[in-house]
């Protein structure tokens, strides 16, 4: 290493440059990748419309949640009562008339 000026700062900068030049892009290790951002979890989401359901408006059918207005017969689309006056088959809800067909 040779310098034309005998200044302590210049010698330090020159030696740092030589040290940094020793490292190139090939020697750098990639940063670990971060996991993709997670979608916010909404526990009370209607199975029919996918909108949030507020606690007072939740109606349950099996393990699925619904708004009252979204509980509809799979055949005729009539709104089903939230009580046990509807029938299910293969995960679909039916009014009595369509279930018996």
Q: Which pLDDT value is given to residue 87?
A: 76
E strand segments, 13-84:
59-61, 64-66
**Residue 14 forms part of a structural domain:** no
Q: Which pLDDT value is given to residue 10?
A: 53
The range of the structural domain enclosing residue 89 comes to 55-100
Say which DSSP state 22 is in. Answer: H
Q: Which pLDDT value is given to residue 86?
A: 77
**Residue 74 forms part of a structural domain:** yes
Instruction: Give 67-83 pLDDT, tens digit per residue.
Output: 888 888 889 999 887 66
**Residue 88 forms part of a structural domain:** yes
pLDDT tens for each residue of the chain, 101 residues long:
444 555 555 555 556 666 656 655 555 555 566 666 665 555 789 888 999 888 777 777 777 888 888 888 889 999 887 666 777 888 788 888 898 88
Residue 90: C-alpha distances to residues 11, 87, 94 (Å) = 80, 10, 11
Contact, 13 vs 3, CB < 8 A? no
Q: What are phi and psi of 92, to 5 degrees?
A: -105, 150
Q: What is the CA radius of gyration of the chain?
A: 34
**Residue 61 forms part of a structural domain:** yes
13 torsion bin: left (phi>0), alpha (psi -120 to 50), beta (else): alpha
* Number of domains making up the chain: 1
Q: Which pLDDT value is given to residue 95?
A: 87
Q: What is the pTM of this model?
A: 0.49
**Residue 44 forms part of a structural domain:** no
């Amino acid at each position: 290493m040779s310098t034309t000026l005998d200044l302590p700062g210049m010698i330090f900068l020159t030696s740092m440059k030589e040290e940094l030049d020793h490292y190139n892009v090939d020697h750098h290790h990639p940063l670990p990748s971060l996991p993709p951002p997670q979608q916010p979890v909404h526990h009370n989401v209607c199975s029919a419309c996918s909108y949030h359901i507020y606690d007072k408006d939740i109606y349950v059918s099996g393990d699925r949640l619904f708004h009252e207005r979204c509980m509809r017969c799979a055949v005729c689309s009539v709104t089903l009562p939230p009580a046990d006056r509807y029938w299910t088959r293969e995960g679909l809800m039916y009014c009595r008339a369509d279930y018996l067909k």
